Chains A and B, each alone.
Chain A
Amino acid sequence: MGDTNASIPNSDKVELLNDRAAITELIEHILALAADAGLKDAAIFAIRLAIEEAITNAFVHGHENLSSDLPIVVEYQITKGEIQITVEDQGPGFVPEKLPDPTLIENLSKPFGRGVMLMKAYMTEVLYNSQGNRVTMRYLAS
């Protein structure tokens, strides 16, 4: 593993439109940097899933009643063995604590409501701002 850049964080803040090719390109770029920073396959799987869920939530729920040409903002910082990703939409936000538990028997056959729980399950830390329109996720290699 090349450590020459280990002390220099790879970070960026980008506006992202709801365009699948652009979303995939950004995610693949972040994951390549994460792999370079020493994160292993299981971590890459986790981070991919969490970013996908956060971006989907931002567009599908956050921007549900907004113009489709509004961007979200994705910010990432990658250091050796660690990544932090923030996804912010321009919507009104939501209260994550009020989401129903999708693992309860009565909710198992509902085809929605699993994104946030997967983000929390796969990332080391998941925090929302008070408005609920910005999520910050951190993965720390154990």
Chain B
Amino acid sequence: MSDSRLRVSKIDEITQVEFIDRNILDEANIQAISDEISGLIETESTPQILINFANVDHLSSAALGALITINNKTKEKGGTLRLANIDPQIYEVFVITRLNKLFNIHETLNEAMEQFN
């Protein structure tokens, strides 16, 4: 997978990740995203990752699985993963699966950024 599915920027020590795709549904795409973010985590000693869902209209349970794997890897390195800008319909998916209890979810990027440290 040479084509990135993400926009990545670094602000202070925080790596901001934005999805390019509006739909995060199919296995191949999700695997590519997961691999790419895992690569970012591996390069950090204490990963501080903020995923921006602003563009995302749909995601599947496989995408939730990838986010959980990313969360687990981040925690294993003593880091923190935060999610922000989640569309209300998608947030409902997190609520139904109770993953809103697992993830640090914030309404806005600014609110998420303020919570790091």
Contacts and interface: CB of A to CB of B under 8 A. Distances in A.
Given A109-B72, A112-B65, A117 B97 contact: yes
B13 interface: no
A134 B99 CA distance: 28
A1 interface: no
Contacts of B96: 117-118, 121
Interface in A10-31: 20, 23-24
A24 B58 CA distance: 13
A114 B65 contact: yes
B65 A108 contact: no
B62 to A, nearest CB: 6
Interface of B: 25-28, 58, 60-62, 64-66, 68-69, 71-72, 89, 93, 96-99, 101-102
Q: Closest 7 interchain pairs by CB?
A: A111-B65, A114-B61, A111-B68, A103-B98, A115-B61, A111-B69, A121-B96
